[in-house]
Amino acid sequence: MEYDNGGAPAVYSSPECQQWVLSSTASLQNRSLQNCQFSILQGRREYQEDAIACNLYLKLLLPGKNGLEEDTVGIIAVFDGHGGQEASKMASHLLFDYFHVNVVFQSYKKMAQHRNALSSSSDYRSFQLAILKEALSKTISDIDLSFSQEAITNNFFSGSTAVVVLLFDGQILVANVGDSKALLLSDKISTQTDSGIGGDSTVHISATALTDDHHPVREDERARIEAAGGSVIMRGVPRVNGVLAMSRSIGDVYLKRYGVIPEPEFTGWRLLTANDIYLVVASDGIFESLTQQDIGDLIFECNSHLQGSQDSKLSHSCLSSTSIADCIVNTAYDKGSYDNLSAIVVPLRQIS
């Protein structure tokens, strides 16, 4: 009843649900980032407003042939705050706990609604994929609800983007709010022909965007903002009411009445292939000075260097970096990015 009335925040705050306790900061540190390659840099900003969370081996109970069975889900997230660090920090702290409770309750709901189908079907994956997507959607909504209540109480004006990627059963699901980004890096083979007689094959890494930025000039985003009584005003870049440079965010409570929403846009479940080698999730500061293909080229050069190539084009900052994530962040900074910089890099072949 508490869950139906108020989602994860109600469960964790109810005296009727004492078995559900939010993780401590120390517990969160033990559960997040320990098995993920990441880099985060304050850069040239006065404050650090980025926050990240990642666990590639989260153990969750999902419906199976014999009821709830333990499965492994990877979850990778970048939250890029603005107007303060409160929203991004709270989002990163609540993500795992809220996702956990939403998966549990969505699993029970799905089992109750489809008991006959579950008992007669050997294909549980479709149910599991639907549960994980619904749980992630509700998690982002619950985080926004919790932060908005805190913001009203404490007069916070901050907000945050959210890019959250799930990895499960060789597939990925991307939820996006705002203008941080997720990229899929894949091996590509091209052949150069000479006078139509054969040719040499070369391998490079191509980058595919998995997110579409929520800028207020996007036609559908502008329509929602204007329908709510807001306006899109150019102040350096297009901004909602001349203030916010994105049309979806967690928080920003003073702009919700003008059409700014926390609802994530999903890239549906995508089956990974043998050519897909890295997943990169990064804040938009990275892309102030690097294109998405620059990221692919950097990873290719890093791999060549690690394999002993003497023809490396890597900068000194990358050669001295301890990881590909460090290389991306340091290169973006060296090329002039003024924003906070965060990147999480997942080598897909190592976790498949």
Q: What share of the chain is helix, strand, coil (3-state, %, to 5)?
A: 40, 30, 30
pLDDT tens, residue order, the chain (352 aa):
899 999 999 999 999 998 999 988 666 666 667 679 999 999 999 999 999 999 999 999 998 877 888 999 999 999 999 999 999 999 999 999 999 999 999 998 888 777 666 655 557 788 899 999 999 999 999 999 999 999 999 999 999 999 999 999 999 999 999 999 999 999 987 655 555 555 565 678 999 999 999 999 999 999 999 999 999 999 999 999 999 999 999 999 999 999 999 999 999 999 999 999 999 999 999 999 999 999 999 998 887 776 666 556 777 778 777 889 999 999 999 999 999 999 999 999 877 6
Is position 312 within any domain?
A: yes
pLDDT of res. 138 = 98
pLDDT of res. 314 = 76
Q: Give residue 213's identity as a one-letter amino acid code.
A: D
pLDDT of res. 350 = 77
Alpha carbons within 13 A on the beta-carbon side of 220? 6
Domain count of the fold of the chain: 1
Alpha-carbon distance of 103 to 105, in angstroms, equals: 6
pLDDT of res. 110 = 82
What tokens were used for 291?
Answer: 């294109």
Is position 238 within any domain?
A: no
Is position 81 within any domain?
A: yes
pLDDT of res. 191 = 58
Is position 28 within any domain?
A: no
pLDDT of res. 257 = 97
pLDDT of res. 121 = 57
Is position 109 within any domain?
A: yes
Sequence-ordered list of residues with C-beta below 8 angstroms from that of 202, at least 6 positions apart, any chain: 189, 190, 191, 192
Task: Indicate which CATH number applies to the domain containing 208.
Answer: 3.60.40.10
Q: What is the DSSP letter of 285?
A: G
Is position 352 within any domain?
A: no
Select from 163, 93, 184, 173 the least CA-distant residue to 131: 173
Range of the domain at 258: 37-178+180-213+248-347
pLDDT of res. 204 = 82
pLDDT of res. 196 = 54
Residue 33, sorted as left (phi over 0), alpha (psi -120 to 50) or beta, turns out to be: left
Is position 229 within any domain?
A: no
Q: Which residues of 218-236 are buried (b: 16+ CB within 10 A; e: fewer)?
A: beebbebbeeeebebeeee
Going edge to edge, which strands form the sheet with 37-41?
Answer: 37-41, 341-347, 276-282, 181-193, 199-209
Is position 60 within any domain?
A: yes
Select from 43, 262, 36 the least CA-distant residue to 143: 262
